[in-house]
Amino acid sequence: MSAMQAKHKTMLGLAATAWGLAMSLVASAALADTDANAQIRPSRISLGQSAELRVPAKSGRAPALPQVDGLHFQQMGQRSEMRDINGVVSKQDWILYRVVADRPGKFDIPIGPRPLAFEVTPAGASTASAASQAARPSPASASPAQRGSSEGPLAFLRVRLPNKKMFIGQAVPVTFKAYFRAGTEVTLAGAPSLGASAFTVGNLDDSPHQSVETIDGVPYRVATWTGQISAAMSGKFTTHATLPIIARYRVAPRQPAADPFTSMFDDDEDVFSSSPSAMLRSFMKHSSFGGDLDDMFGQVREREMTLRARAQGIQVQPLPRTGQPSNFGGAVGRFDVRTRLAPSTGIAFSPMTLTIEVSGQGNLDRVAVAGLPASADWKTYPPSAKQSAPGNKSFEQAVVPQRGGHLELPAISLSYFDPEQKRYITRSSTPIDVEVAAAPTGSPVPTFAATSPRPVSKPAAGLRPNRVDEGRFVATLLPPYRRAWFWPVVTAPWLVLAAGVTRSRVRHHSARSHRRATKETIDRYRQAMKGAVAAEDTQRFYEAAAAGLCIRLGQIWHMHPDDVTAAEAAARLGPGDASIVAVLSAAEQLRYGAAVAEPASLAGLKASIDQRLEQLEVRS
């Protein structure tokens, strides 16, 4: 009886186990069929802040993100979460992105079964909920373009307009100031723009003035442009000043894993079936040493961005019709007019030059002068304008006296609108007295009488006129340099030469960039060696020293760094490089978990490796 009860008890246990296993499989299948949805936290931020976008990873791959105008997505890493549903534990992998906005507004991010609603308020505006305030990004995770207040923004633009009211054609000074945080490499991708079609920017500096300013304890390099703006139409307008730049900055390093061997066995590939160099890279990547030097020292990113200044309102008023002179040509500002004649004395029917100089403050582009009108005493030609100096514009007019004696050049008048006094003003030059000598006796007086054609005499009977040789027929009288074939023929050899020089320079620049990148990488490993010596960490020292030596030796021997081994180094190097062979051998033993002997002096070994790396750099 007891045996029968034991048998029934065993069968009941097996049935319960099978039932629990079946329910677990059903729950797991249901959970696997239900994909997590993408999330954005917070859903509302101010311009200059950033939000975190979490997208479920499928098959360990990052999904393709949509293109949203005004938003930028930067991948930050991956996070795993464990979930327990009805006793079934599952793992959910998330891909994390940082979301940065270029402008305020409401956005829909089309990802997942339904779009994610995302709102960006203007800079300085308060968010709607306390949760959004609590989610303000820290300096380490803030937008690359607008870091947290403790570090200060990476770059920003300010525009100074002293006048918020102006007249059509009035020249108003404007100042653009771009601030770049110290340590940031910036390349200007264009000139600053006011962002309003009603205004034109003139007299802008070709190269900005550079200075250094400190804001809230943060030093900034400042680029300043000065110029003038002028409006062509009346109304109320809003400026949206921009400056395109290319910024190179360093992002903060990611935190290394606590256990150096935790993630080595979670990779998709079998680490121990890979090459020794792959095992070393995997170990360094997940070790407390940080292995990935980009993560350890921070990655250098390059990003094209557009700096935007705070919007400002400007009211443009039309010029008044009341009191407008008949000779008003559109000049707005405060001007004065002067004239001079060269030579000071003349001869009848000989040309002289009348120079009209306009100086003052305002928009000189709108200043126009009709010049001296023609009269019985003077024959005149249209004047030509030229910008002689800042705040000065001159007009030159050719005048010809029509008789000898005492003549007078009448005054030249200029009418303009003064925006400060808000009225029209007319200025006139001083008349010029000129002594003109009579034309020399016997000199022909220019006349324009028409001449009658000479009669053609008929040849005498029996005689034939000489045959005129018309010469070779020419299709065109254009000189060679104005013909279509001339410039392609002339420029073709130069273009070929320029292409060859450019190709040579590009090849040289590529090789130089490769050498510089190699040197920077080895310098990072040398810094890692220095840190390992300070921490008395032999394992970290061997890892960094071996990585740097493999890169330098591979460059010299034209080998891949993975192919550089202790045996190869022993065969190629001499007896004086025993320390290099020892370091490579120790690093190879560490890859397989073998113990290595402590060196007599870690600092001495570092000095020997540093000296050898410098010597090898000269050979490369």
State the average pLDDT over residues 249-271.
47
Q: Which two tokens stand for residue 136?
A: 């303000």
Which single residue is written with the structure tokens 């400060």? Answer: 420
The candidate with the shortest Cα–Cα distance to 54, out of 8, 130, 109, is 109
Average the pLDDT over 488-506 and give the result.
87
Q: Give the per-residue pLDDT at 335.
A: 92
188-202, 362-376, 589-603: least confidently modelled range: 589-603
User: Cα angle vertex 236, ends 208, 325, to 5°?
Assistant: 90
Residue corresponding to tokens 């032999």 = 538
**In the block, residue with structure tokens 């959970």:** 31
Taking 80 as the threshold, does the pLDDT of residue 445 lie above it? no
pLDDT band at residue 613 using 50, 70 and 90 as cut-offs: confident
Percentage of the residues of the chain whose pLDDT score is greater than 90 = 13
pLDDT band of residue 177 (cuts 50, 70, 90) is: very high
Q: Are residues 530 and 524 in contact, defined by beta-carbon separation less than 8 angstroms?
A: no
Residue 134 has pLDDT above 50, yes or no: no
Give the number of other Cβ atoms within 10 Å of residue 482's Cβ.
9
Give pLDDT, residue 458.
52
Tell me how far apart the 2 most distant CA atoms of the chain are, in Å: 165
pLDDT of residue 424 exceeding 90: yes
pLDDT of 3: 58
Element (H, E) at 133: helix 130-134
pLDDT at 220: 86
A 10 A CB-CB count for 226 gives 15
CA distance 369 to 356: 8
- The reported pLDDT for the residue numbered 463 is 54
**pLDDT band, residue 234 (cuts 50/70/90):** confident
pLDDT score, position 186: 83
Cα(29)–Cα(90) distance, rounded to whole angstroms? 11
CA-nearest of 124, 126, 242 to 178 is: 242
Only one residue has tokens 């060269």, namely: 342
- Determine the pLDDT at residue 289: 42
Segment among 99-103, 339-343, 616-620 with least mean pLDDT: 616-620
Query: What per-residue confidence (pLDDT) applies to 85?
Result: 59
Residue 364 has pLDDT above 80, yes or no: yes
Query: Residue 411, class by beta-carbon neighbours within 10 Å (0-12 exposed, 13-18 middle, 19+ buried)?
Result: middle
Average pLDDT, the chain: 76
When pLDDT is cut at 50, 70 and 90, the band that residue 612 belongs to is confident
Between 353 and 299, where is the model more confident? Answer: 353
Q: Would you state the pLDDT for residue 351?
A: 92
Range in 19-28, 137-146, 448-457 with the lowest mean pLDDT: 137-146
Residue by residue, DSSP assigns 173-191 as EEEEEEEEETT-EEEE-S-
Segment 10-55, tens digit of pLDDT: 666 666 566 555 554 544 443 333 346 888 888 888 877 778 888 8
Nearest to 181 by CA among 224, 135, 223: 223
For residue 240, pLDDT beyond 50:
yes
Asked if 247 contacts 154 with a C-beta cutoff of 8 angstroms, the reply is yes
What is the predicted pLDDT for the residue at 264?
Answer: 38
Residue 432 has pLDDT above 50, yes or no: yes
Spatial separation of the C-alpha atoms in residues 245 and 247, rounded to whole Å: 6
Q: How far apart are CA 604 and CA 243, in angstroms?
A: 53
Q: What percent of the chain has pLDDT over 70?
A: 71
Residue pair 39/54 in contact (Cβ under 8 Å)? The answer is yes
Distances in whole angstroms, Cα of residue 432 to Cα of each of 32, 319, 385, 415, 583: 99, 33, 21, 20, 95
Give one DSSP letter per residue of 381-422, joined into a string: ---EEEEEETTEEEEEEEEEESSSEEEEEPPPEEEEEETTTT
Distance, CA of 225 to CA of 188 (rounded, Å):
13
What is the 8-class DSSP label of residue 268? S
pLDDT digits (tens, 9 = 90+) for 263-292: 434 444 444 444 555 544 554 444 444 444
pLDDT at 278: 52
Give the three-state DSSP class for 101: strand
Give the torsion sign (CA, 285, 286, 289, 295): positive
Question: What is the DSSP code string of 47-98?
Answer: BTBEEEEEEE-BTTBPPPPPP-TTEEEEEEEEEEEEEEETTEEEEEEEEEEE
C-alpha–C-alpha distance, residues 493 and 269, integer Å: 56
- Residue 158, pLDDT above cutoff 90: yes
Average of pLDDT values for 559-585? 83
- Please tell me the least confidently modeled range out of 66-80, 319-333, 458-472, 501-515: 458-472
Per-residue confidence (pLDDT) for residue 339, from 0 to 100: 92
Q: Where are the beta strands (DSSP E) in 102-184?
A: 105-109, 116-121, 155-160, 165-167, 172-181
Q: Is the pLDDT of residue 414 over 50?
A: yes
- List domains and CATH numbers for the chain: 29-131 (2.60.40), 155-253+301-316 (2.60.40), 329-437 (2.60.40), 512-619 (no CATH)
**Mean pLDDT, residues 393-411 taken together:** 90
pLDDT of residue 11: 67
Residues 583-604 as b/e (b if ≥16 CB within 10 A, e otherwise) read bbbbbbebbeeeeeeebeebee
Determine the 3-state secondary structure of 496 from DSSP: helix
Selected residue with higher pLDDT from 416 and 390: 416
Average pLDDT, stretch 533-547?
87
Are 438 and 348 a contacting pair, CB within 8 Å? yes
Confidence of residue 250 (pLDDT cuts 50, 70, 90): low
pLDDT: which is higher, 618 or 239: 239
- Listed residue (358, 348, 303, 320) closest to 155, CA to CA: 303
Residue 585 has pLDDT above 90, yes or no: no
